[in-house]
Amino acid sequence: MKHTAVAVSPANFIRDLTTLIAAHDAPIYTISYYVHWQLMRAIADAGYKVTFSGTGADELFTGYYDHHNLYLAEVAADRELHAVALAAWREHVATVVRNPHLQDPDLYLRDPDFRGHVYLNSDVFSSWLERPWSEPFTETRWHPSLLRNRMLNELFAEAVPVILHEDDLNAMYFSLENRSPFLDRRLFETAAAVPTRHLIRDGKAKSVLREAMRGIVPDPILDCRRKVGFNAPVLDLLDTSDPAVRDYLLDDGPIYDLVRKSEIEGMLERPTLPNSFSKFLFNFVCAKVFLEQHGTVRR
């Protein structure tokens, strides 16, 4: 398929992030939306006026790594199907999933209510605050199926509303019309009618959608089981070896009324960061920029 690469660089990262935060009038939710903003810029520069996204496909047809664990719990009563699904999970999913909780295929058989994988290491980051704070993870009960209910929460309350909010602001920044064709009521109703046992097959999430596209989308894409997120490690963009960058990050400001500077100093010394720490550092930078744009913090 025709593919256009958009290079990202640490050059001017803080400056560009500051511009984007001012345009959103809020911290950027995740680094994905900073990268998405760069993509929107490239699309606009190429002369296009409308963009189409795949938002909603994971939530309608499965797609996240925890969906595999939830699926294994769903089909556990069917011993033959469960054995086949478990073998496929061990061969194709266990080898690539990074979240330690999701490396356990029996996670939801033992604890159907477990959601600790969602905010990984939140207890660590809470302890870094001047006043430790935490918020319990909650979800609405819409469906008796564990997997379906998780997908509905992602669709209506978690992932999709956040994506649409950030996507729209990024696209409008460059006067682009962003559309999400998967978010169609008739498609939602069709996907909801598919028996759960068919949603994941041979270690492939979105199994139904993949086969629907057979002959249209190239087979190497349809047969790739690895979840490739639209993401980037923060250290690919934030050059913590640059003295000017370090000086800015450690400069006194209202953010340090909330976060202990010693913890940020320690993080900046690390040559690499696990995914959850990478996300926290990006959130810290966004919060720092936003608070400096809007004044001091009141305890």
Round to whole Å and give the CA distance between 247 and 38. Answer: 25
Q: Each residue of 262-276: pLDDT tens digit?
A: 999 999 998 889 989
Q: What is the pLDDT of residue 231?
A: 76
Q: Which two tokens stand for residue 142?
A: 């819409």
The packing angle between helices 13-24 and 159-173, to 10°, is 100
Round to whole Å and give the CA distance between 35 and 8. Answer: 8
Q: What is the pLDDT of residue 296?
A: 60
What is the model's pTM?
A: 0.92
Q: C-alpha distances in angstroms, 216 versus 210, 220, 224?
A: 10, 12, 15
Q: What is the pLDDT of residue 297?
A: 53
Q: What is the pLDDT of residue 266?
A: 94
| Average pLDDT value over all residues in the chain | 94
Round to whole Å and give the CA distance between 295 and 59. Answer: 38
Q: Each residue of 182-212: pLDDT tens digit?
A: 999 999 999 999 999 999 999 999 999 999 9
Q: What is the pLDDT of residue 230?
A: 77
Phi, psi of 208 (to 5 degrees): -65, -45
Residue 299 has pLDDT above 60, yes or no: no
